[in-house]
Amino acid sequence: MIIPAIDLIQGQVVRLYQGDYTQKTVFDLSPLSQLKSYQKQGANWLHIVDLTGAKNPKMRQTALITELVNGLDANIQVGGGIRTEEQVIELLNIGVKRVVIGSLAVTETALVQSWLQKYGSDAICLALDVNINEQGDKIVAVSGWQSGGGKSLDALVAAFAPFGLKHALVTDISRDGTLSGANTQLYQEIARLYPQIHWQASGGIATLEDVAAVRDAGADGIIIGKALLIENFNVEQAIACWPNKIGVEPC
């Protein structure tokens, strides 16, 4: 499934290079207009990242996200700066279909396990954003990728699987914002090891060939941000390579 994404800092559509806030590209676009365009082209799900909130949870862009959700018909998933159950409830109440939890899944694992049980597997998606070291260990980063969490992707999957983990978004941080292609080996590995989880791939997508490669690697969905913003291809073309409807032949 194709999931177009926008990242927001203080109301502006941006992209970061490898999660680095000092390497920021600002796009002169209306967030709502851009997401409406993606929706019109056939996107059933849209992904919004509150980068201001990810860096400083006290500065979460809740009012803007509310405006966006109210102006769209597609399903919305939102991540960035979510630290409390009240914030989860707030997002679900404004119509967000899925809340993406990153740092807290590492630092407060038991709390997020309880949310999976309380709100259901379809309402919570873990964001397991990884730095891969020379030994191949996939270490999950926290705090808007500003620090390492000290836990591996495999350890977190093992911790959450008994509590009904169904959706997880995995980003290879070294690929994010680089347009260098996705880490298909990573997605092949986790799809094989954990077939019960619906994996969303993210990071490095530049071409329709990259989209097809991630599809063939076994991921269930793909988050596409920068490549759409710079018009390397559009949502309709991406969906043609990875149809949202079963039975449609891909490109």
Q: Does 131 reside within a domain?
A: yes
The reported pTM is 0.91
Q: Does 250 reside within a domain?
A: no
Query: Is the predicted pLDDT of residue 180 greater than 90, yes or no?
Result: no
Residue 235 sits in a domain whose CATH number is 3.20.20.70
Percentage above 90 pLDDT, the chain: 74
Output the CA torsion 12→18→20→24 (10° steps). -40
Residue at 187: amino acid letter:
Y
Q: Domain limits at 122?
A: 2-241
Q: Does 97 reside within a domain?
A: yes
**Which tens digits make up the pLDDT trace of 47-62?**
999 999 888 888 999 9
Query: Half-sphere exposure of residue 16, counting CA atoms within 13 Å on the CB side?
Result: 19
57-63: Cβ within 8 A, 24+ apart: 57/81, 57/82, 57/83, 60/87, 61/8, 61/10, 61/11, 62/90, 62/91
Q: Does 74 reside within a domain?
A: yes
Residue 176 falls in the annotated catalytic set = no
Residue 129 falls in the annotated catalytic set = yes
Which residue out of 7, 172, 176, 210 is catalytically annotated? 7
Q: Does 190 reside within a domain?
A: yes
Which residue out of 129, 172, 176, 210 is catalytically annotated? 129
What's the pLDDT at 132?
81
Residue at 207: amino acid letter:
T
Angstrom distance (rounded) from CA 158 to CA 226: 32
Q: Quick one: average pLDDT of 7-30?
A: 90
Residue at 10: amino acid letter:
Q
Q: Does 249 reside within a domain?
A: no
Q: Does 246 reside within a domain?
A: no
Q: Does 16 reside within a domain?
A: yes
Q: Could you tell me the sign of the dihedral formed by the alpha carbons of 129, 241, 3, 193, in that order?
A: negative
**Which tens digits make up the pLDDT trace of 116-156?**
999 999 999 999 988 888 788 888 887 544 445 578 999 99
What's the pLDDT at 146?
47
| Residue of 192, 173, 225 lying closest to 46 (CA atoms) | 225
Number of structural domains, the chain?
1
For residue 25, list its beta bridge partners: 15
**Stretch among 8-17, 50-59, 67-76, 146-155 having the lowest mean pLDDT:** 146-155
What's the pLDDT at 251?
67
